[in-house]
Amino acid sequence: MYFYERFCQWLGHLKLSRVILLVSVILFVVPLFTHYYLSKYDETGTLSSNPMRHTLEALGDISTMNAADLKLRIEEMLRIKASVSTELRELEAKRGRLQREAAAASAKADSAKAEHARAAAELQRLRVSADQARIAQLEAIRRDSPELAPPLQILPSRPPPILPPIASSSEVHCRMFSCFDHSRCSLTSGFPVYLYDPDVFVPLSGAEVDGFLKTTLKQTLGYNTHITRDPNEACVYLVIVGEAFPFVKTPAPTTDTYKLLLNETAIKSLPYWGGDGRNHVLVNMARRELSVGSGDAFRGASIGRAMIAQSTFTHEQFRPGFDIVMPPALGPPGGDVWADCAPIAPARRKYLLSFQGSQPPPKGIDKDHDKSLIEALQQMVKSAPASDLFHLQFECDPPVEKRAVLPIGDWALCGTDRSRRAVLRDSTFALILAPADRNYVTTALLQARLYEALRSGAIPVILGGDRIRLPFDEVLDWRRATVSVPRARVPELHVLLRALADADLLALRRHARVLWERYLSSVQAGVDALLASLRTRLLIPARPVSPTVGAPAFNDSYSPPRLEPPAVDAEPEETLGPLEAPYPSPAYRRNFSVALLHGYEMWNDWGEPFALYPQLPWDPVVTSEARFMGSAAGFRPVGAGAGGSGREFSEALGGDRPREQFTVVILTYERETVLAAALARLRGLPYLNKVVVVWNGPSSPSSVSSWPESGAPVAVVRAPRNSLNNRFLPYHLIDTEAVLCVDDDAHLRHDEIVFAFRVWREHRDRIVGFPGRYHAWDLNFNNGFLYNSNYSCELSMVLTGAAFVHRYYLWAYWRTLPAAIRDYVDEYMNCEDIAMNFLVSHITRKPPVKVTSRWTFRCPGCPVTLSADETHFHERHKCIQFFSQVMGYTPLLTTQYRADSVLFKTRIPHDKQKCFKFI
């Protein structure tokens, strides 16, 4: 049958004429040979003795065949051929249909298998989530205290009632418990503050408030989240007094004095004064004190139960824990102040100690009352070695005019701001002398010297600091930024200054710069610090920080279809963790405790006290036994607490913290194919909560393309503009503390990601990731550090193209990092990863953590990236140098540490499994 089919196929390809000729030959030759062989046998079946006779008979039959019979036979053969061809075509069509049906059935079977695998994975995810929900239910039942929801805001609805004023003699005894109405400031109030409009409530004393100061204060307070326009709900009422005090010269028995006329009637007539001024804060940020000297603006005035916030106080009037020492308005209204700062290094400068000032004593006071102090300082200069240079100037040139309004023994400023700054920039220490009049707690001139020293990077040395109050000292630790010694230590001052090591000098100078930038550098910084210190005193949490609401790339009625991801490189056969349903990290659980436990750190170290964050990298951990005795909520210890490796290790996160997940943030620029591959690689990744795609392109992503299924919710937000800074926007879609920043072309295996996530959980305040880099000193020109990507045994940066960071640093990138750095990133479209490393190292003073031995990443088949350009590295050199200039120093720290998994290269029994088999 096979040969017949092949013959028919061959026959069908021949032309008709050739077919006719072939058939004719066959019809002629076949009968001839048949007759020949048959003629050899006779009628009995035996071989004939005369075969020629049969041949001749056959030839006679052929000769007698007519043309009509031959034609009929040919036609018959053609009909047979046509029938066979038709049958063959029908069979071929049927075979094609069967093949198509088989392919469709195979595709349907593959789809059914994929759907079954997806359903099985989802079922497993639901089972794990159900198990976790049951455990959480049991934990909630066993918990001693209920789970609290965010508290409702409780605000007053009426203005302060009018109460009788207190006696003037009782005002000096005011404290928070006796002169403040706490009922208007509930713990959940949010600390609303009402500002008396200086354009309406003027003049308070017959003179206008300084126009610059008034405009600046109104503008800066308008940015503060605590300001309210409703006086009925206010907790605190601010009154800007400023420079509204006219000076009147009055004779005194011993000297001429200047009486500052405070219009008490105008102040007590304020609409919400309430009879006694409780919960009112009188703010005096006058700059006039630096030129003519105003002394204590409220000395001798009756202000009831109102607080005072100013820069000059006497012991008789200052009420500790009630009044607030704040700096005068010396800096700009707000904004970046990095250009005014001197670099932190080198540790030791030209002058060991400097001072520029003059002391014009008032009448009746011996002009040599501080002569012994000056002589002791001059003697210190003479006895010091020649290598220690001093710049001590106790007389101004030209001499300062005698001003009786200065606090007794206070030192006036010499020269211009530029000349003083030039000397201070060359000084390791700046001498600040407390007023000889011990009645003064602080003066505006003393704080002006403090401001200038901190701005220039000279470490303040305060002689008489044991009786001086510095700005916001109830929350700021000035011991870490200044050297405060009593006047009796003058003979030992040189020994003390020389005993400080370089590391101590740099630490003092760095912390002094941090305090100056956050709380003193501008009018806005001073006002924000004033309100934050009042709120901290009342134990009221700050307002929650506002996340960035990302604009969705697709409208609400459209969602890109999800497809099963294409085949990718097979993951190692390793169990990495359960596939759970997404759940967010618990937020705002420490609203009222963060200020109690970490209030000092918030003001002085890593944090900033002006906002409340949902989580912090420094949230405390419970003790080991507490995880099993009374505080087990959320914990999933390895092997239920018995430990283990392999299966036991992969079933639970373990560690010292409760279970959690992470969010992947992918920054992409109109590369849908590369993005689709990145999403496909995330399929089946354990502990994945959500994928946030930051679409950085000018046009929206295509609404017709299908995106691969990543196994977790995918949110696509469209950035307002093309900026690399968008990688670190604190989007409201991020619900976890752990954030994995990934480039769209970075290839990471699942075991690497899970391992890095586990390492990050133990180093939450650091950057934990894969590509390591370091800053190398420029040996050729000695003009700073250079960016280096060569292989090295030391590193100081982990690039955020593949790294875990805490969610808090996304806010810190926009609130703490100087705006000049972000602008530089936008200008050159580069170095956002270096900026994040600068920020984290600046806050924590710790290096990053690199995981695995991989040094860099490659993307076969991806288009040429930005980093392939030679100018890319030159720009990164400039980035490090510019960032160091802005921050005053290079905060990056080097490390020789790299994290590898437990049991790495460790021989274990055959029935056990390593924590990570391939790392």
Query: Is the pLDDT higher at 762 or at 371?
Result: 762
**Confidence check: pLDDT of 122 > 80:** no
User: Catalytic amino acids?
Assistant: 833
Q: Whose CA is closest to 204, among 317, 316, 303?
A: 303
Average pLDDT over residues 503-524: 95
User: 34 or 490: whose pLDDT is higher?
Assistant: 490
Mean pLDDT value across residues 849-865: 65
Across the range 859-885, mean pLDDT stands at 74
Amino acid at 330: L
Q: Report the candidate in 655, 697, 703, 661 with the shortest Cα–Cα distance to residue 682.
A: 661
pLDDT for residue 279: 95
pLDDT score of 403: 47
Per DSSP, the residues of 817-885 read S-HHHHHHHHHHT--HHHHHHHHHHHHH----EEESS------TTPPPPGGGSHHHHHHHHHHHHHHHH
Helix (H, G, I), strand (E, B) or coil at 400: coil
Q: Indicate if the pLDDT at residue 561 is higher than 80.
A: no
Which candidate, 502, 589, 634, 471, places its Cα nearest to that of 140? 634
Beta carbons of 519 and 472 less than 8 angstroms apart? yes
Q: What is the pLDDT of residue 801?
A: 92
Poorest-pLDDT segment among 105-114, 653-662, 778-787, 910-919: 910-919
Say which residue the tokens 């789970």 belong to.
Answer: 147
Q: Global pTM?
A: 0.83
Return the pLDDT at 31.
62
Above 70 in pLDDT, residue 47? no
Q: pLDDT tens-digit profile of 181-233?
A: 999 999 999 999 999 988 887 645 444 556 777 788 888 888 899 999 999 99
pLDDT > 60? residue 635: yes
Mean pLDDT of the chain: 83
Residues 12-39 pLDDT 10s = 555 445 656 565 556 656 566 565 555 5
Residue tagged 């989007």 (tokens)? 731
- What is residue 59's predicted lDDT score, i.e. its pLDDT? 46
Show the tokens assigned to 816.
């703490």
Q: In this structure, what token pair is assigned to residue 787?
A: 């960016």
Higher pLDDT: 122 or 1? It is 122
Q: Is the per-residue pLDDT at 606 higher than 90?
A: no
Q: Output phi, psi for 256, to 5 deg.
A: -80, 130
Residue 682: other Cβ atoms inside 10 A: 23
Q: How far apart are CA 206 and CA 367, in angstroms?
A: 36
Q: Which of 114-118, 698-702, 848-852 has the highest mean pLDDT?
A: 848-852
Q: Over pLDDT 90: what percentage of the chain?
A: 46
Mean pLDDT is lowest, of 189-203, 455-469, 592-606, for 189-203
What number is the average pLDDT over the span 879-884?
95
Query: pLDDT band at 857, cuts 50/70/90?
Result: low
pLDDT score of 703: 63
Cα dist from 237 to 181, 270, 290, 358, 531, whole Å: 12, 10, 27, 39, 11
Does 160 sit behind a cis peptide bond, omega within 30 degrees of 0 on the bond before it? no
Query: What whole-number distance in Å separates Cα of residue 444 and Cα of residue 326?
Result: 9
CA distances to 380, 422, 498, 521, 566 from 426, rounded to whole Å, are 19, 7, 17, 20, 64
Determine contact, residues 654/637, Cβ cutoff 8 Å. Answer: yes
Which residues have CB under 8 Å from 917's CB, separation 6+? 572, 574, 751
pLDDT given for residue 203 in this prediction: 44
Mean pLDDT within 872-896: 94
Q: State the pLDDT at residue 415.
A: 82
Q: What is the pLDDT of residue 878?
A: 94
Q: How many residues does the chain have?
A: 919
Whole-number CA gyration radius for the chain: 44
Contact criterion met (CB below 8 Å) for 334 and 522: yes
Q: How far apart are CA 303 and CA 282, in angstroms?
A: 9
Q: How far apart are alpha carbons 529 and 521 in whole angstroms?
A: 11
Distance from C-alpha of 479 to C-alpha of 685, rounded to nearest angstrom: 49
How many DSSP H helices and E strands does the chain contain?
Answer: 22, 30
Q: What whole-number percentage of the chain has pLDDT above 70?
A: 80
Confidence at residue 834, expressed as pLDDT on a 0 to 100 scale: 97
Contact of 706 with 679, CB cutoff 8 Å: no
Region 838-863 average pLDDT: 79
pLDDT band at 149 (very low <50, low <70, confident <90, very high): low
DSSP state of 520: I
Among the residue ranges 22-36, 662-676, 863-877, the one predicted with the least confidence is 22-36
